[in-house]
Copies of this chain bind each other. A is one copy, B any other.
Amino acid sequence: MVETRKVGAVAESSGVTVRTLHHWDDIGLLQPSHRGVGGHREYSDDVLVRLYLILVLRDLGLPLDSIRTCLEGGLDVHRVLRDQLAHLDAVARSLARLRVKVTALLDTAGDQARLANADELLQLLRDSRHGAQDFLEGYLSEEQRGTLAAHAAEVGSALPYFLEVEWPQLYRQAETLRIQGADPSDERVQKIVARLDELSGLFGGTEGGTGGRVRKAWRDNPAVMSGEPEDIAMPWRAVADFVENARRCRSGKDSYP
């Protein structure tokens, strides 16, 4: 007669919870060797070895599904480990990007009073975008800066959304189409350009070419204007050219010089 342990003993000696062992039983990852009186789970030594392997693979961060398939021999462990390594690195990279964003915002807020509401947050974000603001102003005359400010007040509250969300999103959509090999005259591309012009018109596009200067600033340095880190693999230059190209394809009547 072979010695076995009940679920509580296995849990205590391994450090996982009883509920976890129940779960692993349910999904077939680790089943007890048999059921004793009253349906009690009984775990033999063989099962404990399997438990050991499961714990090792779980410690590596593998999902339970991969662990099971590994143990069934259906997956090449060597390959799984390499994939997992690539996965970990990807997560680490995105984590690092997050860290940069958070610290940048903390730095900007550092010398201010504590924030307590949405309006102050909005102000903080405006301040943290100061780089783009400064860059843009280099493209404008004194008068144009005035025009821009006037229009900005006129556009109303949604300006940050237009500038920081919709505008970059339009570029991303253009990039998707460009990659797909769409022609600049493609109507989907034309729709994007029309909306871009509409937005740049919001801050003075038709008068004195303010909108045109803003667009030029974006074309010359989209990275700083969008506030995105450089390494995000968005070929801004190519997209900007693609968009400019598309703009020239439009019928002349509603294009801005």
**A interface residues, Cβ below 8 angstroms from B:** 12-15, 45-46, 48-53, 55-56, 59-61, 70-71, 73, 76-79, 81-82, 84-85, 88-89, 91-92, 95-96, 98-99, 101-103, 105-106, 109, 114-118, 120-122, 124-125, 156-158, 160-161, 164-166, 169-170, 172
Contacts and interface: CB of A to CB of B under 8 A. Distances in A.
A81 to B, nearest CB: 5
Contacts of A102: 60-61, 81, 84-85, 88
B92 A106 contact: no
Given A52-B164, A60-B98, 14 more contacts: A13-B170, A14-B165, A14-B166, A48-B158, A60-B101, A61-B98, A70-B118, A77-B114, A78-B106, A81-B102, A81-B109, A84-B102, A85-B99, A85-B106
Contacts of A157: 45-46, 48-49
A61, A71, A122, A156 — which one has the most chain B CB atoms within 10 A of its CB?
A61
Contact of A122 (B53, B73, B101): B53
A227 to B, nearest CB: 10
A82 B102 CA distance: 8
Nearest to A55: B165
B169 A125 contact: no
Given A13-B169, A14-B169, A125 B92 contact: no
Given A50-B118, A105-B60, A158 B45 contact: yes
A124 to B, nearest CB: 8
A166 B55 CA distance: 12
